[in-house]
């Protein structure tokens, strides 16, 4: 083989090798593009699946509002809350009690008694006794009945302590009378004499009990002992609390016990009457009785 022939063959082999490298490189590019395309499509599909899953997932429903059920749903007849014996001791000359007006006796009521013991030229002993009961229903908007009653209890104590013309105001806790109880004592001087006012405010579950008791010596008779009046007022308050409990099947014991409200179902719906609760609150503010005007804290006591 001549030298020229060998050179031509070597050149041909080199061209063949270059062409092979070019073809191999060109073939690799589509493979990479296809792989990249597959990866991109896969990510896109995954994103769509996630979006679809998110869209399809149902929204969590908001839980329905609930409120603790009120323990007591009844009130006793206000004029029947005190025993005959107690009435004879506190208002010996009183006749039948006078029931106050109420447009909803299931949430509020009151009763009052007047007693005037006329001793002729020696003067007279006057006593006035009033009982009021207010019940609060639970409501999802306003809250649990016992909490509403506690708010009213606090308000009535503040009102009693701020009575117009009250002198020598004193307060003291009262034991074994519902869930909480306080007595407010003060003197009120009127032209008829000095009236010794005793107001006991108590709460038992979702009911507020108020006992007002005052006395005075008129026309020269001696002023009654305030401590004796306070003991009588506390005794009356215990009886009224017991009557509330008995009316609701709670045994009638006036002493405090673990709150039945706390034991009531916490899942009870708050569709209890809002109007009833608001009515009770309004009734308290208005005195829950036409006879409340006889209370020295609001006007002159009856002589």
Among 99, 102, 80, CA closest to 246: 80
| CB count in 10 Å sphere of residue 55 | 7
pLDDT at 77: 97
Alpha helices in 221-295 (DSSP H): 226-247, 260-263, 274-285
Higher pLDDT, 255 or 240: 240
Farthest-apart Cα atoms in the chain, separation:
171
Q: Which residue has the tokens 């019940």?
A: 135
Mean pLDDT of 119-132: 92
Q: Give this prediction's pTM.
A: 0.69
**Token code pair at residue 275:** 């109007």
Higher pLDDT, 103 or 28: 103
**Token code pair at residue 43:** 């990510």
Check: CB of residue 228 under 8 Å from CB of residue 196: no
pLDDT at 50: 52
Q: What is the pLDDT of residues 157-205, one digit of tens each?
A: 999 999 999 999 999 999 999 999 999 999 999 988 899 999 999 999 9
Q: Which residue has the tokens 């007047």?
A: 114
Q: Which residue has the tokens 């329905």?
A: 64
Among 147, 225, 214, 207, CA closest to 184: 214
Spatial separation of the C-alpha atoms in residues 198 and 212, rounded to whole Å: 6
Per DSSP (E only), the strands in the chain are 98-99, 108-118, 124-135, 167-173, 180-190, 193-204, 207-218
Mean pLDDT of 249-268: 51
Mean pLDDT of 121-132: 94
Mean pLDDT of 25-46: 48
Q: What is the pLDDT of residues 217-226, one digit of tens each?
A: 998 899 999 9
Q: Which residue has the tokens 């569709």?
A: 271
Spatial separation of the C-alpha atoms in residues 257 and 93, rounded to whole Å: 36
| β-pair partners for 127 | 115, 215
pLDDT at 111: 98
Percent share of the chain, pLDDT over 90: 56
Among 60, 39, 41, 37, CA closest to 49: 41
Tell me the pLDDT band of 5, cut-offs 50, 70 and 90.
low
């Amino acid at each position: 083989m001549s030298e020229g022939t060998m050179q031509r063959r070597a050149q041909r082999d080199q061209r063949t090798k270059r062409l092979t490298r070019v073809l191999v490189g060109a073939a690799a590019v589509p493979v990479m593009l296809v792989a990249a395309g597959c990866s991109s499509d896969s990510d896109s599909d995954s994103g769509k699946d996630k979006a679809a899953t998110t869209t399809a997932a149902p929204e969590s429903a908001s839980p329905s509002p609930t409120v603790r059920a009120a323990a007591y749903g009844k009130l006793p007849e206000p004029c029947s809350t005190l025993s005959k014996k107690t009435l004879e001791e506190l208002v010996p000359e009183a006749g039948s009690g006078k029931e106050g007006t109420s447009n909803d006796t299931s949430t509020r009521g009151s009763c009052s008694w007047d007693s005037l013991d006329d001793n002729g030229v020696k003067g007279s002993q006057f006593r006035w006794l009033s009982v009021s009961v207010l019940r609060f229903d639970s409501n999802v908007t306003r809250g649990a009945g016992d909490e509403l009653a506690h708010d009213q209890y606090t308000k009535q104590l503040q009102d009693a302590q701020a009575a117009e013309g009250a002198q020598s105001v004193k307060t003291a806790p009262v034991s074994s009378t519902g869930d909480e109880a306080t007595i407010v004592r003060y003197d009120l001087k009127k032209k008829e004499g000095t009236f010794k006012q005793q107001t006991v405010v108590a709460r038992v579950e979702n009911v507020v009990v108020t006992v007002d008791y005052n006395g005075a010596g008129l026309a020269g008779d001696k002023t009654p002992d305030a401590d004796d009046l306070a003991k009588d007022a506390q005794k009356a308050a215990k009886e009224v609390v017991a009557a509330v409990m008995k009316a609701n099947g709670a045994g009638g014991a006036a002493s405090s016990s673990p709150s039945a409200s706390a034991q009531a179902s916490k899942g009870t719906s708050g569709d209890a009457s809002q109007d009833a609760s608001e009515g009770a609150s309004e009734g308290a503010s208005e005195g829950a009785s036409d006879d409340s005007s006889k209370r020295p804290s609001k006007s002159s006591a009856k002589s």
